[in-house]
Amino acid sequence: MESEIKRSAVSNVGAWAMNVISSVGIIMANKQLMSANGYGFSFATTLTGFHFAVTALVGLVSNATGLSVSKHVPLWELLWFSVVANMSITGMNFSLMLNSVGFYQISKLSMIPVVCVMEWILHNKQYSKEVKLSVLVVVIGVGVCTVTDVKVNAKGFICACVAVLSTSLQQITIGSLQKKYSIGSFELLSKTAPIQAVSLLIFGPFIDYYLNNKFITNYKMSTAAMVSFVFFIFSLSL
């Protein structure tokens, strides 16, 4: 029994370590790919579309091989979730592209109080004094970092706000859909990924042009940029 507990503890530590390493690696690869000091691939919306195209393919293969089971979810709910999810991941990518990695990470922390407020408004969820105090500490920390970070610009700040609000709403929506239709996160992603891929690949280049004043066809892909691009797409999709 004691040996099983130790093995379980080691497995948990390994899983957490891999999660941290992979998350940091994805963020750094994304930043290197999209930043002006890196490879300058500033087409975050189109990049997100490619990501969901690969994700949709993975979901299709999983369903075809019986590794996952497709469950019915009304189309209008899938469309609503896809819109929110598109705003979330696109906003996050633009936030990372336009802001420093530090501010990007700090803005993600602000989702904690935003989710709490949204759940209170939408579901009348109540929180204990300890939770409220913890959330207050997070709010103060985010506020201090936002004010003192000299690299924050107006466009980056707006993208960060859109990302935080949409991601918070996305997390609440995921929980509601999973509970309502008894569907897992991967099965839900398999249903929404095709919708997100099609919409982002159609409208993404025009959104990127509006923000960057250049089309993706004007970008000259180097070998190193291609490697980073492929790594980013597949690491997020698997």
What pTM was estimated for this model as a whole? 0.71
For residue 20, the model assigns a pLDDT of: 64
pLDDT score for 56: 86
pLDDT of residue 49: 86
CB-CB contact of 171 with 118 (8 Å): no
Q: Is the pLDDT of residue 238 over 60?
A: no
Across residues 204-220, what is the average pLDDT?
79
What is the average pLDDT score of the chain?
78
What pLDDT score was predicted for residue 133? Answer: 86
In the structure encoding, which two tokens stand for residue 133, read together?
Answer: 């105090």
What confidence score (pLDDT) does residue 164 get?
92
Backbone φ and ψ for 116, nearest 5 degrees, come out as -60, -45
**Span of 15-19, 109-113, 187-191, 199-203 with lowest mean pLDDT:** 15-19
According to the 3-state scheme, what is the secondary structure of the chain?
CHHHHHHHHHHHHHHHHHHHHHHHHHHHHHHHHHCCCCCCCCCHHHHHHHHHHHHHHHHHHHHHCCCCCCCCCCHHHHHHHHHHHHHHHHHHHHHHHHCCHHHHHHHHHCHHHHHHHHHHHHHCCCCCHHHHHHHHHHHHHHHHHHHHCCCCCHHHHHHHHHHHHHHHHHHHHHHHHHHHHCCCHHHHHHHHHHHHHHHHHHHHHHHHHHHHCCCHHHCCCCHHHHHHHHHHHHHHHC
Quote the CA–CA distance of 116 and 135 in Å, as a whole number. Answer: 9
Let me know: does 87 contact 113? Beta carbons within 8 Å: no
Q: Please give the average per-residue pLDDT across 181-185, as a whole number.
A: 85
What pLDDT score was predicted for residue 141? 75
The residue with greater pLDDT, 14 or 208, is 208
Residues 215-219, mean pLDDT to the nearest whole number = 76
Q: pLDDT tens, 136-162?
A: 887 787 777 666 655 677 888 888 899
The string of pLDDT tens digits covering residues 56-107 is: 888 888 888 877 777 888 989 999 999 998 888 888 878 877 887 778 878 8
Q: How far apart are CA 57 and CA 31, in angstroms?
A: 25
